[in-house]
Amino acid sequence: VFQSYALFPHLSVAENVIFGLKVRGVPRAERRDKMDRALEITGLGGLEHRKPSELSGGQRQRVA
């Protein structure tokens, strides 16, 4: 089973999520709020400062 997710290993969880929002054209003022909500919905609240290598496979999948 292919389990490589499109995450930047040198960026934190928060930076990976915000990067995706930036690419999608979400205004800077909205990015932090949307990131916080996404992490809470996916059960990843409190993990925003971790790097992908510090997460389980399921957590990496939810970040991606």
Structure tokens at 5: 């997710």
Q: What is the pLDDT of residues 7-49, one digit of tens each?
A: 999 999 999 999 999 999 999 999 999 999 999 999 999 999 9
Predicted confidence (pLDDT) at residue 2 exceeds the cutoff of 90: no
Q: Say what the pTM is.
A: 0.87
Looking at per-residue confidence, does 64 or 2 come out higher? 64
Predicted confidence (pLDDT) at residue 5 exceeds the cutoff of 70: yes
Predicted confidence (pLDDT) at residue 1 exceeds the cutoff of 60: no
| Structure-derived torsion over alpha carbons of residues 34, 36, 40, 43, reported in degrees to the nearest 10 | 110
